[in-house]
Structure 1
Amino acid sequence: MKSKFADTRKSGQRFDGDYHREMFKADINQFLKIEHDSGKVKAFLKEDFSYYTKLYVRLLDASAQENEKYPAVYFNSLNELDSQYLLILSACSVNDPEEVSKIRVVAEQLDRMFSLQQLQGAYDSNEFAVKLFEISAEIRNKPVVQIPLVFEFHLLREIARKRATAVLTSFNYNLFRGMTIDRLNTRFTRFFFGRVELFLAEGMKLKMKHSLGSLVTLRGAKTGFHIEHILSRNTESLDAFGGDEERFEVERNRLGGVLLMKGKDNISSSNELYSGKLKSYANTLYWNETLRSDSYHSKLDFRDFAKKSGLEFKSMNKFGPDELEERQKLLFEVASLIWR
């Protein structure tokens, strides 16, 4: 009911309660025409009700386990974006011949819009929820080819509004450059690095060492994943930033300065030198291993992928401001390919 008759978040609230009563009110009944018409009621149950119920169940299944036809439905569920149900049901007409394509495209566009706003400091949960109702109204029963255009328009407008700057592209390094983990919630940070890991695995045609779901959701002391700073607090690290503690704290929190590591009992000591940490990155995640020189010498699948993708991967035997900036730029290029 929300997907077909709510154009704003406020108007959608009428269906949060006795939605079955709302169906018979004049403004809704003029479309459904089911009041005092048993034939129309039967047709509604056999067609609309049956179709959208089955579609909803398919989306529930795809949210619980990745479906190769539309994997982004699962990605959105990891970010707890239940709004995808509203958007997909809005886009699909009864017995829609473009159903599979619409599910895939709407889910991908929602994932893209959410992620790129997060990564550029342009996300607000309440404003995002309001905006999705507008998008729902604009993509309602529209052909699949029109859907990305609607999302792109609103994405660009929201980034420009939130960051108070003119934007020509949906992903801008100037806005991403200063992104740090303290500006993102932990779940999305883990999701971001999980998507980077998935991108590398698919590029090398290798199996993920740990599933995306595990990277995002597991938090146990031994089996879970935590966010670890590459730069520990020690004299070597501080000296690399001229002894400026404030700058050091800000810089080490940038996305290019952190990694996902498994097991809190394996967290490197707070003052360990980078050379020691580098050893611990072996046989962890593909993204972590790109810091190590042996990833380039012995792994042909990675070398082939790096050459084919054009991404400037580079091992780093030391880690300071210049290296951190290189990693931030590399993450930007990777994210640009993931959410292009």
Structure 2
Amino acid sequence: MTTTLRASREIDGKGRTVRDLLAGRKYSIDYYQREYKWQRKHVAELLDDLIDKFRESHEEGNERSAVADYGHYFLGSIIISDKDGQKFIIDGQQRLTTLTLLLIFLHHRLTDPEQKGQIADLIFSQRFGKRSFNLDIPERTACMEALYRGEETADANGLESIVNISARYADLEDLFPDEFAGAALPYFVDWLVENVHLVEITAYSDGDAYTIFETMNDRGLSLTPADMLKGYLLANISDAEKRIRASRVWKERVQKMAELGKDEDADGIKSWLRSQYAESIRERKRGASPQDFDLIATEFHRWVRDHEDRLGLTASAEFARFIERDFAFYGRWYERLRRAGEVLTPGLEDIHFNAQHNFTLQYPVLLAPLEVDDDEGNALRKLRLVSAYLDILIHRRIWNWRAIDYSTMQYAMFLVMRDIRGKDTAELALLLRDRLDTEKETFGPNGRNDRFGLHGMNGPQLHRLLARMTDYVETRSGQAPRYAEYAQRGRQGYEIEHIWADHPERHKDEFDHASEFQEYRNRVGGLLLLPKSFNASYGDLPYGDKREHYAGQNLLARSLHERAYDHNPGFKRFVEQSGLPFRAHGEFKKSDLDARQVLYQKLAERIWSPDRLTGEAVS
């Protein structure tokens, strides 16, 4: 489609695939353009949408050629100002940057050299041995180069875009579902570059480009789904005084949720409606139709209108009640839960732990058993039960190499949410304990999870798991809690320390091959959590030299040394009472790592024990 405003060609609009848009083309941004600002939430939403659309068509066993007939996905429009052949992005920088990061991530995961080469062409071009990225923004080049080479990104020097680019790439590593990282990956990549479309609107002056941008965004008139739901509900309250009162309640709650961050008001409403009313979810098969859970996510204002009978919205008084009682109650608790997710809150610590794993599905599940007549104490008991259940489930899955991303977990969490809706504390504890007891994944050795440890994509998860273990050992030994400190990453934070330095030649007496050594070295029993500065100074030393330095670190590291067991009555009492097989290790051979692996496994069983649910119900 081409639109001509005057005699000369001034505005073009063309539909393009990702390949069409990026292959052999360069895009720049003007100096006054805003920084790259996308947050993890935006990346998660885009990835979920792409995966869900791909899943609608893909079936295991399909030929690669079948991808041509898979469903198509529209990623929106971008607006370009063409200045003498040089393309400047006016609108769409956030999506194109994220798309480039996704392509770099996929390039690293692909194994077929031909397909890797095709993807590389969408990321950069090369002339005379010099690489030039297709999204050509000079201050970002070093960062993009590092990501493409699989290296750690350099110091951002305070540049917001660089900080966000590095963080969003880490999010992609964390969020991309394992189920599509194997045999399905080449299909997904084909689909992404050939079946995902954007409309490229090109103007040949900045003035025209910005006019189009403002017209399409229409900032002054755009209504959000939350605005439309509010309008629908208030319009059905016939009494003017009650309508004003309900409007005041709505405004107050929405404002409180909006203070949490962008789109939090919509997320809070979705969590409330899903938790209390969703009865169905789209089947995970090709061609399945969206159901309650899915429709609430995309158009909750329409869903409420279409299901007013189920929601009891049959008279003016019920519409007022829906806002003043129900929305006020669940909106207030959503706000508290989100704040507990951000900051460790006494009594609600598990919510923070789950949030650190970016388990956003926890919020509707947490709200599900709450009832509007629950008092504070009863509501908190229910929240502690559900958050503990999720904490145990998440860490069991991590220990068993199972994904916890949104698309993998949403069906299971819908079932939990539906089953626990409105349950009292005793019923809730029994139901959740039964679910854990019937789960296949536990911490007990099963031939695979007894090798659990560090691999390419689970570093952040394992860091947090080690932070929990370290903090647990210390607090149970009478020391002050330090989880927030241990969970901190970066230059001033902590990082995973391998007890064995990366020198297979030091272990030839026990390992014939370097690959076998590396697999063993990465097992969780051979890992600690130590300050980044420690690793830089001592990480390469042999164990015998490092051991003395471990004696001055956290208690889990110190437990390798005899001094941890001297003049430390709190730790000795914890070891005796728990029965955990702590002991000092004068050397650290293969058998020593095996012993620490067993110790960590038993420690995990203790930290994430289902008995926590029984204890909470009794209390």
Return the TM-score normalized by structure 1.
Answer: 0.88
1:144-293 equivalence runs, <5 A: 144-155=425-436, 159=440, 170-174=442-446, 175-182=448-455, 185-208=458-481, 211-216=482-487, 218-221=488-491, 223-234=492-503, 237-264=506-533, 266-268=535-537, 271-293=540-562
State the secondary structure of the residue aligned to 1:182.
Answer: coil
Check whether the contact 2:538–2:546 (CA below 8 A) recurs between aligned residues.
no
Offset of residue 240 of structure 1: 4.3
Offset of residue 275 of structure 1: 0.9
Counterpart position of 1:88: 366
Q: Give the residue type in structure 1 aligned to 2:352.
A: Y
Structure 1 pair 149/118, CA: closer, same or farther in 2 (3 Å)?
farther
Distance across 1 between alignment mates of 2:381 and 2:431? 16
Correspondent of 2:592 among 323, 333, 339: 323
State the secondary structure of the residue aligned to 2:528.
Answer: strand
1:252-303 deviations in Å (ceiling 9; x for gaps): 1000011111124642556421111112213222111110110012322211
State the secondary structure of the residue aligned to 2:497.
Answer: strand
Q: Give the residue type in structure 1 aligned to 2:300.
A: Y
Distance across 1 between alignment mates of 2:527 and 2:439? 28
Structure 1 pair 297/24, CA: closer, same or farther in 2 (3 Å)?
same
Q: Give the residue type in structure 2 aligned to 1:220.
A: G
Gaps of 5+ in 1: 161-169
Counterpart position of 1:166: none
Structure 1 pair 205/8, CA: closer, same or farther in 2 (3 Å)?
farther
Distance across 2 between alignment mates of 1:270 and 1:30? 64
Check whether the contact 2:361–2:413 (CA below 8 A) recurs between aligned residues.
yes
Distance across 2 between alignment mates of 1:148 and 1:299? 37
Distance across 2 between alignment mates of 1:132 and 1:2? 11
1:188-232 deviations in Å (ceiling 9; x for gaps): 111111111121122111113xx323322x3222x1111111011
Matched, 1:108 2:388: yes
Matched, 1:294 2:566: no
Matched, 1:120 2:400: yes
Check whether the contact 1:255–1:328 (CA below 8 A) recurs between aligned residues.
yes
Counterpart position of 1:15: 296
Offset of residue 152 of structure 1: 4.8
Distance across 2 between alignment mates of 1:293 and 1:265? 20
Q: Give the residue type in structure 2 aligned to 1:325.
A: D
Distance across 2 between alignment mates of 1:52 and 1:158? 30
Check whether the contact 1:7–1:136 (CA below 8 A) recurs between aligned residues.
no
Distance across 1 between alignment mates of 2:346 and 2:550? 31
* Residues 287-296 or 41-50, more deviating: 41-50
Structure 1 pair 156/182, CA: closer, same or farther in 2 (3 Å)?
farther
Distance across 1 between alignment mates of 2:437 and 2:279? 21
Q: Give the residue type in structure 2 aligned to 1:297.
A: D
Check whether the contact 2:359–2:404 (CA below 8 A) recurs between aligned residues.
no
State the secondary structure of the residue aligned to 2:308.
Answer: helix
Offset of residue 87 of structure 1: 0.5
Matched, 1:31 2:310: yes
1:116-145 deviations in Å (ceiling 9; x for gaps): 111022335333222111111111111222
Offset of residue 112 of structure 1: 0.5
Check whether the contact 1:236–1:273 (CA below 8 A) recurs between aligned residues.
no
Distance across 1 between alignment mates of 2:337 and 2:355? 10
Matched, 1:79 2:350: no
Counterpart position of 1:165: none
Gaps of 5+ in 2: 1-272, 283-290, 610-619
Correspondent of 1:132 among 413, 423, 442: 413
Matched length: 324
Distance across 2 between alignment mates of 1:292 and 1:334? 18
User: Identity of aligned pairs, percent?
Assistant: 23
Distance across 1 between alignment mates of 2:490 and 2:397? 29
State the secondary structure of the residue aligned to 1:4.
Answer: helix
1:19-75 deviations in Å (ceiling 9; x for gaps): 2232121xx21232325x221111222211111111111212221222222221111
* Residues 232-241 or 56-65, more deviating: 232-241
Check whether the contact 2:277–2:311 (CA below 8 A) recurs between aligned residues.
no
State the secondary structure of the residue aligned to 2:294.
Answer: helix
Offset of residue 88 of structure 1: 1.3
Name which one, 1 or 2, has greater alpha-carbon Rg: 2
Q: Give the residue type in structure 1 aligned to 2:451.
A: G
Offset of residue 236 of structure 1: 6.6
State the secondary structure of the residue aligned to 1:226.
Answer: strand
Check whether the contact 1:118–1:184 (CA below 8 A) recurs between aligned residues.
no
Offset of residue 251 of structure 1: 0.5
Structure 1 pair 81/247, CA: closer, same or farther in 2 (3 Å)?
same
Structure 1 pair 130/268, CA: closer, same or farther in 2 (3 Å)?
farther
Q: Give the residue type in structure 2 aligned to 1:215.
A: Y
Check whether the contact 1:231–1:237 (CA below 8 A) recurs between aligned residues.
no
* Residues 271-280 or 151-160, more deviating: 151-160
Structure 1 pair 76/197, CA: closer, same or farther in 2 (3 Å)?
same
Distance across 1 between alignment mates of 2:280 and 2:439? 17
Return the TM-score normalized by structure 2.
Answer: 0.50
Q: Give the residue type in structure 1 aligned to 2:412.
A: K
Displacement over 6 Å in runs of 4+: none
Distance across 2 between alignment mates of 1:128 and 1:150? 19
Q: Give the residue type in structure 2 aligned to 1:331.
A: Y
* Residues 102-111 or 302-311, more deviating: 302-311
Check whether the contact 1:228–1:267 (CA below 8 A) recurs between aligned residues.
no
Distance across 2 between alignment mates of 1:207 and 1:214? 11
